[in-house]
């Protein structure tokens, strides 16, 4: 079950939404969309990769927050993520996400039962170390260091598929810059992880029990102050013997409906998941922030 508090926070954020012009920083707030959207793991950034941005609309003069519902519909599976994140003085971010991965009819074929769901809690923290996403020299991006502690809520299944552990922590460093002259956002993330399918199938396995360093990247073009279109790539380890794990990528569009509400849609390709190939589908997210 998803904690009710997540629904309450999201509804409060959405209810506060109203048309607002982008602000230029300082106490008035961040530029529209520069807090990013919520990843499926709760951290602010793109849908797949965290960025060196801090959640919420406030700058270093205060604190902000955001909450999101993300749904990924694939040919044979469905993923839902409910997340909240708090940003403190545009320096520190604390986040939480509950993920639920529905196996639909594949669960029955695997002996788990139709519509069996893998669930996971993800607790995150991110600190901005240097730089700024928007302001300052073009050559100097914002740089942040983050951690995501993940715990599978289905340890018996994780063990059955050959996972070494039911919980683990991803460590990452990320650099992000919005080049205003070209309306171009670029991001690079380096992650150390041993998570299987983001951790939903446990951590480590016959093909490896130690963290592997994998790259992630995002690029976006700002067509207007409200609309960003871009793409992401995320490499993943391949630890389990019973099924390969492919890298993931997406093409996304994020639209700032107002100063407090962002809608995102993406075509996502997650490759092969638990022996089933061709898992490509639609990611939709609604995020409220202040």
> How far separated are the first and last CA of the chain, in Å rounded?
26
pLDDT digits over 205-230, tens only? 999 899 999 999 999 999 999 999 99
Calpha distance 256→266 (Å, rounded)? 15
Calpha distance 141→176 (Å, rounded)? 5
Torsion, CA 232, CA 216, CA 92, CA 10, rounded to 10: 40
Tokens of 238: 């391949």
- Residue 246's Cβ-count burial label (10 Å; 0-12, 13-18, 19+) is middle
Tokens of 283: 């990611």
Q: What is the pLDDT along the chain (290 residues), one digit of tens a residue?
A: 444 443 333 333 333 333 333 333 334 588 889 999 999 999 999 999 999 999 999 888 889 999 999 999 999 999 999 999 999 999 999 999 999 999 888 776 666 777 788 899 999 999 999 999 999 998 999 999 999 999 999 888 888 888 999 999 999 999 999 999 999 999 999 999 999 999 999 999 999 899 999 999 999 999 999 999 999 999 999 999 888 999 999 999 999 998 899 999 999 999 999 889 999 999 999 999 99
Token look-up 């029990």 returns 209
Handedness of CA 54, 232, 193, 155 (dihedral sign): positive
Arithmetic mean of pLDDT over the chain: 88
pLDDT digits over 24-69, tens only? 333 458 888 999 999 999 999 999 999 999 999 988 888 999 999 9
Q: In this structure, are residues 127 and 147 in contact, taking their beta carbons and an 8 Å threshold?
A: no
The pLDDT assigned to 274 comes to: 84
Question: What pTM, to 2 d.p., does this model score?
Answer: 0.86
Q: Is 224 helix (H, G, I), strand (E, B) or coil?
A: coil
The pLDDT assigned to 7 comes to: 36
Q: Which positions ≥6 away from 91 have C-beta within 8 Å?
A: 54, 60, 127, 128
């Amino acid at each position: 079950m998803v904690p009710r508090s997540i629904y309450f926070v999201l509804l409060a954020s959405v209810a506060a939404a109203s048309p607002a012009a982008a602000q230029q920083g300082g106490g008035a707030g961040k530029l529209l969309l520069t807090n990013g959207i919520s990843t499926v793991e709760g951290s602010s950034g793109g849908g797949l990769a965290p960025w060196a941005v801090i959640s919420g609309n406030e700058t270093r003069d205060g604190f902000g927050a955001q909450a999101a519902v993300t749904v990924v519909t694939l040919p044979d599976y469905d993923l839902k993520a409910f997340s909240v994140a708090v940003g403190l003085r545009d320096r520190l971010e604390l986040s939480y996400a509950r993920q639920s991965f529905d196996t639909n009819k594949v669960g029955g074929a695997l002996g788990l039962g139709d519509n069996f769901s893998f669930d996971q809690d993800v607790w995150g923290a991110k600190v901005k170390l240097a730089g700024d996403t928007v302001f300052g020299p073009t050559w100097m991006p914002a740089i942040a260091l983050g951690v995501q502690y993940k715990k599978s809520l289905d340890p018996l299944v994780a063990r059955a598929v050959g996972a070494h552990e039911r919980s683990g922590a991803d460590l990452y460093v990320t650099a992000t810059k919005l080049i205003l002259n070209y309306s171009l956002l670029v991001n690079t993330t380096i992650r150390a992880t041993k998570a299987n399918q983001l951790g939903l199938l446990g951590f480590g396995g016959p093909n490896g029990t130690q963290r592997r360093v994998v790259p992630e990247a995002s690029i976006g073009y700002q067509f207007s102050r409200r609309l960003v279109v871009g793409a992401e790539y995320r490499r993943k380890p391949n630890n389990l013997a019973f099924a390969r794990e492919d890298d993931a990528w997406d093409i996304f569009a994020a639209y700032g409906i107002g100063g407090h509400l962002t809608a995102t849609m993406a075509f996502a390709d997650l490759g092969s998941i638990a022996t089933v190939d061709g898992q490509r589908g639609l990611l939709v997210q609604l995020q409220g922030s202040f």
